[in-house]
C-alpha cells in the first residue's frame, strides 16, 4: 500500500520548480471540455492559475461553493470562462469541468476589482498580440481569394470541433485577417496557435485572428450572429 501511495504522489503532484504541471487526467479533460491540445495544456493551466477567478475574488453562494470544492477536490479552484479548474498540491491541475447551471451568470458574484482585472486580461487576448511572422515569398499561398479561405477555414473548424465561425477574411500587408465569432470568448484563444500553425502548414498563409466586435467594443457571440444571419 505504501508503494502504491508513492506512485500516486509521483504521477499527480511532482513539480519542477514552481511551474504548473498538468496531470494525465487533467490533460484529457482539457482536451475534451476546453479543446486545448496536448502541447497547450501546460500554458493554459498556468494562465488560469494566474488570471482565473478564485474563491477569494467571489461573494455569496459562489464563494462558498468554490471554497467547499477546494476542500473536497484539491488545494484550490479557479474559474475561467464557463469552466472551473481544480488544482492539487504544488499547483498540479487535476481536472476541469463546467460550472453548475445556477452559476451561469457567475460574473454577478465576482468582486468589482477582480472582475475588471479578469476582463482586462481576457480582452487583451483578442488583440493583435503575438502576431505570426509573414510568410516568405517562397511559401506564397495557393489560396488567394478571401471567400475561398473563409469556406476552407469554416470546414476545417467543423471537422476539428473548433467552436469558431469565420465571418470575414481580408488581406493586409501579406497576412490574412480572420474576423470570427464564437460563444466561448474567454477560452477561444486556446485554439489560436493550432489554427495559425494549420493555416501556415496546410494553406501556406499567415493569419491573424480577431473576434468580431460591435461599434461599442463588445464581442459578437456566434449564437447571436447566426440568429441574425438566419433572419436576413
Residue that is last in its domain, among 71, 99, 124: 124
CB-CB neighbours of 148 under 10 Å: 12
Residue 132 lies in a domain: no
Residue 181: predicted pLDDT: 93
Residue 147 lies in a domain: yes
Same domain, 116 and 158: no
Cβ pair 37, 44 in contact under 8 A: no
Number of helices (H) and strands (E) in the chain: give both, helices first.
Answer: 8, 7
Same domain, 87 and 148: no
Cβ pair 167, 159 in contact under 8 A: no
Q: Residue 80: which of 111, 102, 54 has the closest Cα?
A: 54
Same domain, 164 and 62: no
Model pTM score:
0.52
Over residues 145-197, the pLDDT tens digits come to 888 888 889 888 887 888 899 999 998 888 899 999 999 888 888 889 889 99
Domain tally, the chain: 2
Reported as a pLDDT band with limits 50, 70 and 90, residue 110 is very high
Same domain, 28 and 72: yes
Over residues 209-229, the pLDDT tens digits come to 999 998 888 999 988 888 887
Parent domain of 97: 2-124
Residue 167 lies in a domain: yes
Residues 118 and 230: their CA atoms lie apart, in Å, by: 33
Same domain, 117 and 33: yes
95 sits in which H/E element? strand 92-98
What's the DSSP call for residue 109?
G
Same domain, 114 and 167: no
Residue 148: predicted pLDDT: 84
Over residues 3-36, the pLDDT tens digits come to 444 333 333 333 334 578 899 999 999 988 888 8
Buried-state track 161-187, b at ≥16 Cβ within 10 A, e below 16: ebebbbbebeeeeebbbbbbbbebbbb
- End-to-end CA, the chain: 66
Same domain, 170 and 224: yes
Residue that is last in its domain, among 78, 93, 124: 124
Amino acid at each position: 500500500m505504501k508503494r502504491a501511495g508513492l506512485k500516486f504522489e509521483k504521477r499527480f503532484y511532482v513539480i519542477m520548480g514552481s511551474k504548473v504541471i498538468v496531470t494525465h487526467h487533467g490533460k484529457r479533460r482539457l482536451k475534451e471540455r476546453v479543446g486545448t491540445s496536448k502541447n497547450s495544456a501546460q500554458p493554459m493551466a498556468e494562465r488560469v492559475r494566474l488570471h482565473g477567478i478564485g474563491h477569494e475574488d467571489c461573494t455569496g453562494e459562489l464563494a462558498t461553493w468554490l471554497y467547499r470544492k477546494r476542500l473536497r477536490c484539491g488545494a484550490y479552484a479557479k474559474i475561467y470562462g464557463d469552466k472551473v479548474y481544480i488544482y492539487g498540491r504544488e499547483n498540479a491541475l487535476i481536472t476541469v469541468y463546467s460550472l453548475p447551471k445556477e452559476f451561469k451568470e457567475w460574473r454577478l458574484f465576482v468582486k468589482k476589482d477582480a472582475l475588471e482585472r479578469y476582463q482586462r486580461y481576457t480582452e487583451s487576448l483578442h488583440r493583435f498580440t503575438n502576431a505570426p511572422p509573414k510568410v516568405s515569398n517562397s511559401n506564397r499561398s495557393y489560396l488567394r481569394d478571401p471567400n475561398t479561405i473563409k469556406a476552407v477555414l469554416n470546414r476545417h473548424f467543423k471537422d476539428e470541433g473548433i467552436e469558431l465561425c469565420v465571418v470575414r477574411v481580408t488581406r493586409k500587408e501579406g497576412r490574412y485577417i480572420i474576423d470570427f465569432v464564437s460563444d466561448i470568448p474567454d477560452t477561444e484563444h486556446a485554439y489560436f496557435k493550432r489554427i495559425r500553425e494549420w493555416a501556415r502548414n496546410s494553406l501556406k498563409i499567415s493569419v491573424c485572428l480577431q473576434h468580431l466586435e460591435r461599434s461599442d467594443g463588445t464581442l459578437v457571440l456566434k449564437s447571436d450572429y447566426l440568429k441574425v444571419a438566419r433572419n436576413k
